[in-house]
Amino acid sequence: MKTLEKLMLAAAAVLLAGCSTAVDKTSAGFSDAAMSPLTDLNLRRNEIPPLLAAIRSPYEPIPQVSCQAIGKMVADLDAILGRDFDAIPLPEKSLGDQASEGAADLTLGTVSSTMSDFIPFRSLVREATGASEHERKMRAAFQGGVARRSYLKGVGAQLGCAPPAAPDPTAGFKASPEKKVEYRSKVQPG
């Protein structure tokens, strides 16, 4: 599929979604998507958040061992890393919101991919400019942050702290109701 056709398809998806949130999200992220070649050339990059860069080891001693201090450290990490698995689930999005987000993501992904396709031998360029190395360091910092948050919550659980200083066992993943299987043959199992 040609580049212009990809862009036209993505634009049509946004228009078909017919939702202002898709247009707003696409508008907000369009400049980042269009500038993706600068990221590949290591001319533009996101810096590692200072809190994550300061983590030498996820299991280093906690400076102040109290539920309040642990809760603040966990909240600070949540602000950078996003929601943890035990966070209270967000309300379900409507089908229209899901469609508009999907259309916006499709459009931004297509623009980013199309712009990145202009760089020949992209993986070699990323290695030569240091962009791949920076991305590896960024991933490692985020993984260290996730491990640190888990460690802090484990210590908080041992102290008997309430969430967010400890995991909330009642939140997060919910087991789906067991589905009944209907057999249509005369011979039933069991």
| pTM for the whole structure | 0.64
In percent, how much of the chain has pLDDT > 90? Answer: 36
Q: What is the pLDDT of residue 161?
A: 94
Q: Who wins on pLDDT, 166 or 111? A: 166
Contacts of 127 (CB under 8 A, 6+ apart): 133
In percent, how much of the chain has pLDDT > 70? Answer: 63
* Average model confidence (pLDDT) across the chain: 78
Contacts of 108 (CB under 8 A, 6+ apart): 25, 26, 29, 30, 32, 33
CA-based diameter of the chain, in Å?
A: 69
Q: How many helices (H) and strands (E) does the chain have?
A: 8, 0
Contact 140, 26 (CB under 8 A): no
Question: Mean pLDDT over residues 60-65, rounded?
Answer: 94
Cα separation, 93 vs 142, in Å, equals 27
Question: Mean pLDDT over residues 18-33, rounded?
Answer: 60
Question: Mean pLDDT over residues 147-158, rounded?
Answer: 95
- CA dihedral sign, ordered 2, 19, 31, 129: negative
